[in-house]
Amino acid sequence: MTPARAPRADAVRNRKKILAAAGEQITAHGPEVGMDEIAAAAGVAVGTLYRHFPTKTDLVVAAVAAYVARVADDAETALSRVQAGAHAVDELTAFLGRVVEASVTDRAVKAAAQTLGAEPGDRGDEDRAGTAVAALIRAGQADGDIHPDVTVSDIYLLFSTAPTDQPSAARARWLALVTPGLTTRARQAGN
Amino acid sequence: MTPARAPRADAVRNRKKILAAAGEQITAHGPEVGMDEIAAAAGVAVGTLYRHFPTKTDLVVAAVAAYVARVADDAETALSRVQAGAHAVDELTAFLGRVVEASVTDRAVKAAAQTLGAEPGDRGDEDRAGTAVAALIRAGQADGDIHPDVTVSDIYLLFSTAPTDQPSAARARWLALVTPGLTTRARQAGN
DNA sequence: GAATAAGATGAACCATGGTTCACCATCTAT
DNA sequence: ATAGATGGTGAACCATGGTTCATCTTATTC
């Protein structure tokens, strides 16, 4: 067992800067930003990135984890509104809409979603999000508004297929087209 | 005006081989296949590819056009079935399902779909597909089964977001979730 | 069956972008 | 203050993959 003496102060500092920069850059330009750009944004050299994260994938995963946390917060907030009396269906679709809308700016969230759907993940934020969404669904089902067979993975499935690169109008239309699949009521007119 | 004497026989032959090979390769491995591989499959050298198509994009577009034709055929067949008495909604959703299912094997179709949604295209197959789908929609609306505000671009929108890389079960589920957005009836139980 | 233009060839080129590593700087423990 | 390991640097490396071009081949024409 390596007792592993405490990491150096500047190393900790840099790690944070890197994570923050990676987040910003990925948010702005998607996961395909170059390591050089992330390094520059963090005010470090490329080599430093590799000291902290063995591969680019590792870095992206780590950075994206922050956005999963954001989604989890959003879901929990929505849930608390429901517990305060708001309609669950409305909150759920609004949540879906917000997350989709957010993923336009934060292209990374989309990647995060795929992570969500992909692996069980290492506990934490993913669970929080899942739990909150599940509660949201259950509440809506209790109201009789959400179809009984809807599950959390349905939400992830839909979210992972959201038309991120399409114009705002298309995204709104998409949400309108997709919502009836979750609810028990037939579609209303208009969008 | 260059009278442009007829192109050489082998040039014509090669052009066909290239198009065919590009189709196969893209179908098998998606639009990201290397030019080398396409050339090899066609039994030609890379340079020949570039003699016929100035850039890779041009080649892909040309190759993908063939798949647009396939989709158009499918849509027209579905339409003819409706005219023979079949239910329009059923044909439309089945069509959507088939195309999605097909795009698992033919990853290229997906690219084709994005092309469809993107530019007006140079007439032809895209129009055929659009016309057939439009007729399908109109028929379904006449039956009162399809929501009055559904348009052809809705179909394209949905198709372009289909979960191509997900397992079969997920794709089926997706179709079930998405269908109610097109119809006037509320969701049924099960998937 | 030359002559010649159209076409084919594929090694080489180049840009991109992730990754490495020999060397330098800095923090921390004594 | 100093040793020495931990961390940082960034030019260079390498793999990938699209694109070019000088050269050779072959179909067509007279």
The model's confidence at residue A57, banded by pLDDT at 50, 70 and 90, is: very high
The DSSP output letter for A15 is H
Instruction: Please write the tens of the pLDDT for every residue from A165-176.
Output: 788 999 999 999
The closest CB to that of B161, out of A174, A176, A190, belongs to A174
| Among B177, B182, B191, the residue to mutate for chain A (most A Cβ within 10 A) | B177
Tell if B29 CB is < 7 Å from nucleic strand D: no
What integer pLDDT is reported at residue A45 of this predicted model? Answer: 97
Q: Which of B128, B132, B129 is nearest to B88 (CA)?
A: B132
What integer pLDDT is reported at residue A4 of this predicted model? Answer: 64
| Cβ–Cβ gap A181/B180 under 8 Å | yes
What integer pLDDT is reported at residue B187 of this predicted model? Answer: 60
Contacts of A166 in chain B (CB under 8 A): 117, 157, 160
What integer pLDDT is reported at residue B191 of this predicted model? Answer: 46
C-alpha angle B161-B165-B167 in degrees, rounded to nearest 5: 110
The DSSP output letter for A183 is B
What integer pLDDT is reported at residue A189 of this predicted model? Answer: 53
How many other C-beta atoms are found inside a 10 Å radius of the C-beta of residue A181? 22
How many other C-beta atoms are found inside a 10 Å radius of the C-beta of residue B182? 23
Q: What CATH number matches the domain at B63-191, 1.10.10.10, 1.10.357.10, 1.10.1740.10, 3.40.630.30?
A: 1.10.357.10
Instruction: Please write the tens of the pLDDT for every residue from A129-148.
Output: 999 999 999 999 999 999 99
CA dist., res. B79 & res. B95, Å (int): 10
Scanning every strand, the nucleotide with its C1' closest to B49's CA turns out to be C8
| Cβ–Cβ gap A180/B181 under 8 Å | yes
Answer whether CATH 1.10.357 is correct for domain A64-181.
yes
Scanning every strand, the nucleotide with its C1' closest to A7's CA turns out to be D6
How many other C-beta atoms are found inside a 10 Å radius of the C-beta of residue B57? 10
Q: How far is A114 from chain B (nearest CA, A)?
A: 11
Contacts of B180 in chain A (CB under 8 A): 180-181, 186-187
Q: Tell me whether B151 touches chain A (CB under 8 Å).
A: no
Which residue of chain A comes nearest to B175, CA vs CA?
A: A181
Q: Over B45-110, what HEC string results?
A: CHHHHHHHCCCHHHHHHHHHHHHHHHHHHHHHHHHHHHHCCCCHHHHHHHHHHHHHHHHHHCHHHH
Tokens read off for A83: 């517990």
What integer pLDDT is reported at residue A84 of this predicted model? Answer: 96
The model's confidence at residue A10, banded by pLDDT at 50, 70 and 90, is: very high
- Burial (0-12, 13-18, 19+ Cβ within 10 Å), A145: middle
B53 close to B62: Cβ distance less than 8 angstroms: yes
The model's confidence at residue A191, banded by pLDDT at 50, 70 and 90, is: very low
| Cβ–Cβ gap A147/B179 under 8 Å | no
> What radius of gyration do chain B's Cα atoms show?
19
Q: In chain A, where are the structural domains located?
A: 9-54, 64-181
Instruction: Please write the tens of the pLDDT for every residue from A74-98.
Output: 999 999 999 999 999 999 999 999 9
The closest CB to that of A180, out of B149, B154, B180, belongs to B180
- CATH superfamily ID and name for B9-54: Homeodomain-like (1.10.10.60)
Average pLDDT across chain A, whole number: 88
HSE-CB at B147 with a 13 A cutoff on CA atoms is 23
Scanning every strand, the nucleotide with its C1' closest to A51's CA turns out to be D7
CA of B44 to C1' of D30 (A): 31
A94 close to A78: Cβ distance less than 8 angstroms: yes
Residue A18 has pLDDT above 50, yes or no: yes
Task: Provide block-wise average pLDDT over 10 residues at a time, chain B (191 residues).
Answer: 73 95 89 93 97 94 85 95 96 94 80 66 80 96 96 93 89 95 73 46
CA dist., res. B86 & res. B141, Å (int): 14
CA dist., res. B89 & res. A32, Å (int): 41
CA dist., res. A187 & res. A175, Å (int): 12
| Cβ–Cβ gap B187/A177 under 8 Å | no
